[in-house]
Amino acid sequence: MRLIVPQRLLKEATADEVTQIVFTKTGNTVDVDVPNQGDFRLTASPDRDTLQGQTKFGTLFQLNRRKATAQLFVDFPKKQLTSSITITVKKRVER
């Protein structure tokens, strides 16, 4: 399955943002995975049961993996939440 954000909704983009979601069926079991893609990565929690990642558009993925079940939550914003960020340090204090 692919989640596609059209280029017209993206700031500073030259193409659509496409996120691949993989469903695998084995017998009566369906597994879900969101592989690392381009700039998008899922980062694991300390207990490794939860993986989270956010695309440049701002789509937030949370994959909860437990021994018996897995749940994928996708929060899709109405408009782009993230963009290129510049951080300026006005005053630096060294200790």
* Alpha carbons 55 and 9: distance in angstroms, whole number: 13
Q: Are 73 and 50 in contact (CB under 8 A)?
A: no
Residue that wins the pLDDT comparison between 38 and 75:
75
Percent with pLDDT over 90 in the chain: 0
| DSSP-based three-state secondary structure for 37 | strand
Q: Does residue 88 carry a pLDDT above 70?
A: no
Domain ranges of the chain: 2-75
Confidence of residue 81 (pLDDT cuts 50, 70, 90): low
